[in-house]
Structure 1
Amino acid sequence: MMSKTKPAPLPPDTVIGGYRIVRLLAAGGFGLVYLALDANGHEVAIKEYLPASLALRSPGELLPVVAPEKQALYRLGLRSFFEEGRALAQISHPAVVGVLNFFRENETVYMVMDYLQGASLQEFIVAARSRQRKKVLREATIRSLFDEVLRGLRIVHQHKMLHLDIKPANIFITDDNRAVLIDFGAAREVLNTEGTFVRPMYTPGFAAPEMYRRTGSTGLGPWTDIYAIGACMYSCMQGYPPHDAPQRQDKDRLEASLARLRGVYSDNLLDVVRWCMALDPLARPQSVFALQRELAREESPEPTPPRWWDRVRARLGLAGDDAREAASHHSQRSSFLEPP
């Protein structure tokens, strides 16, 4: 039996790799995220690899305890997490979370990232949904947002990486109005393909059907992230996630849901979502570029005002301080309520 005890976080004022821990920001099944200060006193977010199903750590301790039979799997995930940090550190794009450093210490790996302040897209959707208007987010907002996100995702794919955990909780809207992809899931996916690991947190509705097949990463590609992008767009229009892929394969209600949105959003935008969310990977856009081209094709785009997220914030009554969950790099299971 696996222990239900979660590994204890590092105490405040612990120094690792020259960074001083301030406090825990988030804890998920795959690791912990801290607010920390660098040598110059600048705030950073530090993500610690510590899968709860493979490792334990007592309060006040630095070293994780890994049972002998879990060592091989723990090291596999550790290596993947390290490689992910190394790959992300090569990417410098405003729409991709900046990895400033990564290092090994305490028999684990730490990824040092930009500390982001703002709110996740999920929080915007929940706030917008609560207003019970016909449109959850305006079409111009959705198009502008995903234009930014796709620019970042295209660079990620050009670096031969996949995100594998795109969802509204992992699209962060900063207080200076950038949309940023956070909390990559590739290292989690490596562990997931090993039969002995407890299935990590696929967020229902956003994971493509091929992610459920447990056949390694052979069937995964840019189209896998593109499915999740389509599901995020759907959530921005509907206010809820779509049904998860296994449910859709049993009885697909996507078409009926999109039909209810006709006249509220343009046919072009609905067609884009339908295309992205095809259950057959070959029926989806095969590259981000193909999707960008289609998303830019609408006939009469509404002009998008400058500082459009400020306007969204004002309309929703979302002050910057309301959702100061900085970083954001939370990897908790976060399907924001079930679809109706």
Structure 2
Amino acid sequence: MDNNFSKYTKIRLIGEGTFGKAWLVRSHRSGRFYVTKEINLKGMKRQEKLQAANEVAILSRLKHNNVIRYREAFTSAGLLHIVMEYADQGDLAQRIDHRRRNRGIGFSEEQVLDWTVQICFALSYIHEQKILHRDLKPANIFLASTNLLKVGDFGIAKTLTNTLDQARTAIGTPYYLSPEICRRKPYNQKSDVWAVGCILYELVTLHHPFEAKDFSSLVMNILRGQYQSIPRQVSLSLFQYSFYHIRR
């Protein structure tokens, strides 16, 4: 996997996380834009290096229209570069935040259903590959220029031996944690489905289904199923779909 970064030019920094940075880059050969996740391997613990290698392995397997496409990975100067497809219309978290600040009302039902169906297509495919995403949230769901939606960021995804296996590590973003994870119980693909319900709710209402002043209170609200009612103007079918995923 050794190589160098001479094939790409960095355009701008677009994100920064626990393990490294995400850059918008341009290929010298094709002129196309990509995103490279830059992970500093120096000083990393063995488990962290395994997690980085796991992300590469998972991404390289996934080939679906609603999943961010892997291009290549290589190391250079102690950095692991994971080069991926660039979705140039941002992510759902940005769309939700912009909508909240400028209009204050949720997206149209047609738009919500279109996005939700695409998320479900991606998730169905991912689960068929015996992979749990484990961190589904609006910030990890990206939009291409054609309004095509793509699920990405498999940094904490887990591969199962078979579809009946369960994961045990409590991990993910608090607002989208399933009751199983909150109880620190074994969990499976249903925890990803739970997150889809939370995202659907957020697209309709522009706020999280479960909110609290601290993490402990948030966990209790999730376990008790205490969330704000969906607005009356939302159709019964969409309400039932969101309610089913959150109460499933």
Q: TM-score range by the shorter chain?
A: 0.7 to 0.9
Tell me: CA distance 1:105–1:233, structure 2 relative to 1, closer, same or farther (3 Å).
same
Q: How far off is 1:79 after superposition?
A: 1.8
Secondary structure (helix, strand or coil) at the match of 2:210 reads coil
- Does the alignment pair 1:248 with 2:221? yes
Q: Does 1:149 align with 2:149?
A: no
Q: In structure 2, do the counterparts of structure 1 residues 103 and 29 end up closer, same or farther at CA, with 3 Å as the change threshold?
A: same
Query: Which residue type is aligned with residue 240 of structure 1?
Result: H
Partners of 2:131 and 2:157 within 8 A in 1: no
Q: Equivalents in 1 of 2:238, 2:51: separation in Å? A: 36
Corresponding residue number in structure 2 for 1:91:
62
| Total equivalences in the alignment | 231
* 8 A contact 1:30–1:49 mirrored in 2: yes
For 1:43 and 1:252, the matched residues in 2 are separated by: 43
SS in 2 for 1:29: coil
Shift of 1:151: 0.8
Q: How does 1:1-340 map to 2 (within 5 A)?
A: 15-16=4-5, 18-40=7-29, 41-50=31-40, 64=42, 66=43, 74-132=45-103, 135-186=105-156, 202-213=172-183, 219-243=186-210, 246-249=219-222, 252-254=225-227, 257-258=228-229, 260-261=230-231, 263-278=232-247, 284=248
Distance (Å, rounded) in 1 between the aligned partners of 2:113 and 2:209: 19
Give the % identical residues.
24
Measure, in 1, the Cα distance between the counterparts of 2:157 and 2:5: 22
Q: Are the counterparts in 2 of residues 208 and 228 from structure 1 also a CA contact under 8 Å? A: yes
| Distance in structure 2 (CA, Å) of the matches to 1:220 and 1:122 | 25
Task: Give the deviation of 1:39 after TM superposition.
Answer: 4.2
The answer to whether the Cα contact below 8 Å between 1:46 and 1:113 also exists between their aligned partners in 2 is yes
Alpha-carbon distance in structure 1 between the residues aligned to 2:113 and 2:223? 31
Q: Distance in 2 between matches of 1:186 and 1:159?
A: 16
Deviations 1:238-268 (A, max 9, x none): 11112255031465422xx22x52x311222
Structure 1 gap ranges (5+): 1-14, 51-62, 279-283, 285-340
CA shift for structure 1 position 212: 3.9
Give the SS at the match of 2:202.
helix
Write the distance in 1 (CA, Å) between the matches of 2:234 and 2:150: 24
Aligned partner letter, 1:46: T
**Pairwise CA RMSD of aligned residues?**
2.9
- Assess if the C-alpha contact under 8 Å between 1:78 and 1:109 holds in 2: no
Unaligned 5+ residue runs, structure 2? 160-167, 212-217
Q: Output the TM-score relative to the length of structure 1.
A: 0.60
Structure 1 contact 171–181 (Cα < 8 Å) conserved: yes
Distance in 1 (alpha carbons) for counterparts of 2:195 and 2:204:
14
Cα deviation 1:188-244 (Å, max 9, x = unaligned): 99xxx88xxxx97x43321223334556xxx23211111111010110111111225
User: Which residue is equivalent to 1:57?
Assistant: none
Bigger Rg, structure 1 or 2? 1
Cross-structure match for 1:287 = none
- Tell me which of the two structures has the higher relative contact order, counting C-alpha pairs closer than 8 angstroms and 6 or more residues apart: 1
Output the amino acid matched with 2:107. Answer: L
